[in-house]
Amino acid sequence: MSRATVPEDEVRAPLLAGQAEPRYGGSEDGTFIRNLGTLEAFGIVISIVIGSGVFTSPGAIDTNVPSPGAALVVWLVGGVLAWTGAATMAELGTAIPGEGGVQPYLKHIYGDAFGFLAAWTWVVAVMPATLAILSIVFVESIYSAAGVTDQADRLEHKLLSVLILALITVANSISTKASTRLNNFFVLTKFVTIFAVVVAGLGVVIAQLVRPEREDIGGRDWFTTPWFDYRDTVTPDGDKIDWGRLGEWDLFGHYSAALYGALWAYSGWDKAIYVSAELSAPARQLPLAINTSVPTIIVCFLTANAAYYILLPWNVISQTDSVAVTAITRLLGPGFGIVAATFICLVVAGSLLGNSFVAGRMAVAAANKSWLPRIFGLVGQVRPTAQPETSDNEPPASPKASSKSDAPINALALSAVLSTLYILLGNFRALLTFNGLGEYTFFFLTVVGAVILRYREPHLERPYKPPIVTPIVFAVVSGFVVVRGAVFAPVQAAVLAGVWVVGLAFYWAKWLIWLRRQ
């Protein structure tokens, strides 16, 4: 048909599939069956957020604060800020239905191009980088348990990381129920690991309170030194920071670096919205899952970090990237250190499983909007099956209705291939900054959009509506994170900008092709 006869709603959304195209991804009510509840959403957030961060980043945070008390405050502030972002996402997730996390929100607020760019960034950059980071950390934890700490860039290390990623992808390709059941096991290991660290800390407290003269168990700084007093900090490269001599600007720089590390440890707080289309009652379950999981995570992180400061001398924490393993090894010996490293590997595996689960859903959502080839929108199959002929008044059967599996196999494979490239070409620190820049750019746009909608669409039905100050606070913080990251990591910022340029070129190419077909 000619462009003049194209309905107005199709002109406004040029990348949506035309009526004549087969609907590979699902039906009007979504691609996936709504068979998840609050407990599954709670478990997914816990599994993703409680990953390597709480066991590896305390040292980096301690290096950038003048006291253990200040470090715990940074952990608390980081958790509260993550909670403000999660609460804003819950508002949007219950007001604007759709699959793909921030994609439908940005499309609704700013237009189709912004929704596409968010989808493109997450599918091509953010999620593959996240999976690559976790795969690398998993293998590095195994090497660390064996006393090897300088092999991260070797080809053998990278190939092992790819193998772990492949196993997790296969596990997620079975079915949604199989993934969530395996995820529940990993959630249990996370709580057990943190519980063990906290119990060890309590054991040291009791032992030293009963016999204050004992110096052979845990650290004694917690018992003899005020928690908020300045103390000199020794960095991993041997430099010493005299906090009493630093000016206000230098202090701000260190505190911002510490907060950046805490926000990375809390990363994943947004992931509940990516399965909101699979919740049986999202208006009730999504806010409940977020408002129970995030406070639980904050308590876990605070108690675990307090235990580290009890188990170790304070000058040791800033110099290690494996604080949990170091603490247990010093307290109970090398054998228990290996056990601790094993549990941390399981914790990281849980985060890897949860992020891979979400990555597949994001690619499906993008494919269903024709932002990616439609084959990535298939669920439970690798190739589209022939649809039986139906009458004009009878809709085509949905693949999810007849498929034994409801896993997005092609989308998971795409994510695994891209993640493999990041593993082979990147390294942990560069990928970490790249991932943070990509995420927080769109977090900033999303929470600002939530504020815009409060005034542009005041009558929009919002089953969950936090105070307006909630998105404003997070918008300020996320904007700061993006600016700081771009300034201190210009190479990663340039690569991310290149990803956006390629994505926009792909978008406009799709637009031109669509116009020529009309």
Residue range 131-146: mean pLDDT, rounded: 80
What is the per-residue pLDDT for 16? 30
What is the per-residue pLDDT for 399? 45
Provide the β-strand partners of residue 36: 279
What is the per-residue pLDDT for 19? 31
What is the per-residue pLDDT for 148? 64
What is the per-residue pLDDT for 79? 93
Three-state SS string across 150-204, please?
Answer: CCCCCHHHHHHHHHHHHHHHHHHCCCHHHHHHHHHHHHHHHHHHHHHHHHHHHHH
Residue 310 has pLDDT above 70, yes or no: yes
Q: What's the chain's average pLDDT?
A: 80
Other CB atoms closer than 10 Å to residue 385's CB: what's the count? 13
- Look at the block and give the residue holding tokens 């746009």: 445
Largest CA distance in the chain: 89
145 or 357, greater pLDDT? 357
Measure CA of the first residue to CA of the last residue in the chain; give whole Å: 5
**Spatial distance between the Cα atoms of 427 and 431, rounded to a whole number of angstroms:** 6
Residues 94, 283 contacting (CB under 8 angstroms)? yes
500 or 245, greater pLDDT? 500
Find all residues with CB under 8 Å of 358, minimum gap 6, and list them: 44, 48, 101, 127, 271, 274, 275
121 or 274, greater pLDDT? 121
* Tokens of residue 435, six digits: 């991932």
* Tokens of residue 271, six digits: 């992931």
Q: How far is CA 393 from its chain centroid?
A: 43
Q: Is the sign of the CA dihedral 206, 208, 212, 213 positive or negative?
A: positive
What count of residues does the chain have? Answer: 518
What is the per-residue pLDDT for 102? 83
Residue range 138-160: mean pLDDT, rounded: 75
Residues 231, 44 contacting (CB under 8 angstroms)? no
What is the per-residue pLDDT for 472? 94
| 246-260, 406-420, 464-478, 486-500: segment of lowest average pLDDT | 246-260
**Spatial distance between the Cα atoms of 214 and 224, rounded to a whole number of angstroms:** 12
Residue range 131-141: mean pLDDT, rounded: 85
**Spatial distance between the Cα atoms of 271 and 274, rounded to a whole number of angstroms:** 5
Other CB atoms closer than 10 Å to residue 6's CB: what's the count? 15
Residue range 215-234: mean pLDDT, rounded: 82
Note the pLDDT tens digit of each residue in 181-193: 787 788 888 888 8
Domains in the chain (CATH in brackets) are 29-382+402-517 (1.20.1740.10)
216 or 3, greater pLDDT? 216
DSSP per position, 254-314: HHHHHHHHHHHHTTTTTGGGGGGGGBSSHHHHHHHHHHHHHHHHHHHHHHHHHHHHHHS-H
Q: Calculate the alpha carbon distances from 92 to 108, 436, 448 in Å.
A: 10, 21, 12
Amino acid making up residue 433: T
What is the per-residue pLDDT for 18? 31
**Spatial distance between the Cα atoms of 439 and 448, rounded to a whole number of angstroms:** 14
Residue range 257-275: mean pLDDT, rounded: 81
- Return the closest-CA partner of residue 106 out of 468, 438, 479, 448: 448
| 306-315, 335-344, 385-394, 504-513: segment of lowest average pLDDT | 385-394
pLDDT-based confidence at residue 237 (cuts at 50, 70, 90): low
170 or 335, greater pLDDT? 170
What is the per-residue pLDDT for 32? 61
**Spatial distance between the Cα atoms of 263 and 84, rounded to a whole number of angstroms:** 12
pLDDT-based confidence at residue 5 (cuts at 50, 70, 90): very low
pTM attached to this predicted model: 0.77
What is the per-residue pLDDT for 307? 92
Other CB atoms closer than 10 Å to residue 174's CB: what's the count? 15
- Return the closest-CA partner of residue 282 out of 40, 102, 80: 40
Residue 392 has pLDDT above 60, yes or no: no
Amino acid making up residue 115: G
What is the per-residue pLDDT for 147? 63
Q: What are phi and psi of 506, to 5 degrees?
A: -65, -40
